[in-house]
Structure 1
Amino acid sequence: MHPMLQRLDDLAAHLATRDDTIAVLGLGSAGAQRGRLDDHSDLDFFVVVEEGAVSRYTTRTDWLTVPCPVVWSFAHERHGRKALYADGVFVEYAVFTVPELRRVPFRGARVVWRRADAPPGLTESDAPVPRPPFDTVEFHLNEALANLYVGLHRELRGEHLSAARFIQGHAVDRVVALLRLGEGEPPYRDVFDASRRVERTYSPRVLPLERMVPGYRGNAAAARVVLDWLSARYPIPAPIGAAIEDLLSS
């Protein structure tokens, strides 16, 4: 067994001895898609507890240290913590009651352990996954063009960081979405983060990320690459295309 999964099993075995725990769910590469797991994975999981027990597991880490000492941890949100074990295993976990769990958007969970009287359906969320307003070629193309336009104005104003987020971040996300629509769902797609595993899915010839994401001072060059990529595949509306070209020549 991979050490990451063994760590989760060890935690679950300990939590199973406590009266206020209901279940442990593995997520991400420790969830239903364990084929994603490798030596660079972190360990994501949920702990499902009785009413009134959430704060015990989010503010205290005595239970977390049972398999191995924890050398660093912090609360990253109200329901969870991130932590680093002495042996290098990095974990991110959240703690919910059953009603709270129903309201959390997640996918691909796996039951590591559940109490005999735990309710069914713990691996399924009733909450929708956040999505863009439209998942169409028209939307992603025009949103990418809008990102380029706004980003280039930020660049010309001297706001290089903001420009990078629009051009090398948001616009490239739309490029990835267009590839997904054109070439089909990639394997192990992360519905919460489109950037995950794109390098394994698309070759540099199809998705030239090195030129689309060159860095802080490369915003104009990145915008040119993204615009050319879009122009080679889709008809660019003339007004916005001309406006972006004007900004690139400024």
Structure 2
Amino acid sequence: MPTAPDALLARLNALARVVADSGHALALLGLGSVGRERERLDRWSDLDFFVIARPGEVGRFLDGAWLAQAAPLAFTFRNTPDGAKVLFEDGIYAEFAAFEGSRLPELPLASARVVWAAPDFPGLPAVPPAPPPPHPAEAHAHHLGEALTNLLVGLGRYGRGERLSAMTFVQGYALGHVLALAAARGALPAAGADPFSPERRVEARAPGLAAQLPAFAPGYAGTPQAALALLAHLEAHESVPPSMSRAIRAAAQALEE
């Protein structure tokens, strides 16, 4: 539900006070738009945070009951061994995880902000450098090959009547590789990108590309049209082997017969 940014930050601070008062934690870290990327915080944001627990105390934070000390809860769902998703009665939605301090070096902390920390909290570890990307030529060949073969497989699934799988292959997998190729040639700026969800904020990062998304992802019944639109886009920007172009168009045409 839409929520005022100030209300989100206030709830995060209230949760930090509960964690501090428990005596069983070292820190509460805000992530993403309530972490170090607060310029992205808006009425559609939610709360993402980590609780850094003292040794042996993680379990008490994975029991979502503690959150009710900050505000009444409407729903809780333990979605991973380390975390949960919760909805407060006032509509604020949150996702969190709890870890012992010894696991700090392995956590994704690039967007983390210390909301509260105990005096003996060692601080955030230095963010390790990202691993070197694959060789540009290898990455390009991978994304182009995957995009084209996903289109062909997806059309085959559609013809077999597996329309949900077809939509996933064409409007999900293939589109993802098309976005990766757009990013590689600079048509999808890295600024504002989410390393875990490449499709995030495409509309703001590349309005021209975003204008084509309705054709690339028209929905359950539109997979053949989506495949042709994606193929045309690839042909306009990449060196598509003619054999793959012919095969994809032939498969799409066969669906019309």
Q: TM-score, normalised by structure 1?
A: 0.91
Cα deviation 1:179-217 (Å, max 9, x = unaligned)? 211226332210000111111122255650011100101
Q: What is the alpha-carbon distance in structure 2 between the residues aligned to residue 242 and residue 227 of structure 1? A: 10
Structure 2 matches for 1:78-227, cutoff 5 A? Answer: 78-122=81-125, 124=126, 136-183=139-186, 185-204=189-208, 207-227=211-231
Correspondent of 1:7 among 4, 11, 20: 11
Cα deviation 1:80-121 (Å, max 9, x = unaligned)? 111111111100000001223332345311111111111132
CA RMSD in angstroms comes to: 2.2
Aligned AA (1:54):
V
Say which SS state the counterpart of residue 24 (structure 1) adopts: strand
Of 18-27 and 103-112, more deviation after overlay is shown by 103-112
Aligned AA (1:57):
F
Structure 2 unmatched ranges of 5 or more: none
Aligned AA (2:76):
S
2:49 counterpart residue number: 45
CA gap of 1:206–1:97, structure 2 versus 1, over 3 A, is closer
Q: What is the alpha-carbon distance in structure 2 between the residues aligned to residue 160 and residue 106 of structure 1? A: 39
CA gap of 1:146–1:217, structure 2 versus 1, over 3 A, is same
- 4+ runs deviating over 6 angstroms: 131-135
Aligned AA (1:17):
D
Give the aligned length: 247
Q: What is the alpha-carbon distance in structure 1 between the residues aligned to residue 123 and residue 241 of structure 2? A: 51
Q: How many percent of aligned residue pairs carry the same amino acid?
A: 37
Aligned AA (2:105):
R
Say which SS state the counterpart of residue 65 (structure 1) adopts: helix
1:236 counterpart residue number: 240
Aligned AA (2:34):
A
1:136 offset after TM fit, Å? 2.9
Q: What is the alpha-carbon distance in structure 2 between the residues aligned to residue 39 and residue 176 of structure 1? A: 27
Of 183-192 and 230-239, more deviation after overlay is shown by 183-192
Structure (1/2) with the larger helix percentage: 2
Q: Tell whether the 8 Å contact from 1:101 to 1:125 is kept in structure 2 after alignment.
A: no
1:242 offset after TM fit, Å? 2.0
1:74 offset after TM fit, Å? 1.2
1:72 counterpart residue number: 75
Q: What is the alpha-carbon distance in structure 2 between the residues aligned to residue 72 and residue 161 of structure 1? A: 29
Of 235-244 and 214-223, more deviation after overlay is shown by 235-244
Of 152-161 and 234-243, more deviation after overlay is shown by 234-243
1:127 offset after TM fit, Å? 10
Say which SS state the counterpart of residue 40 (structure 1) adopts: coil
Of 84-93 and 185-194, more deviation after overlay is shown by 185-194
Correspondent of 2:28 among 24, 30, 35: 24
Q: What is the alpha-carbon distance in structure 1 between the residues aligned to residue 104 and residue 119 of structure 2? A: 18
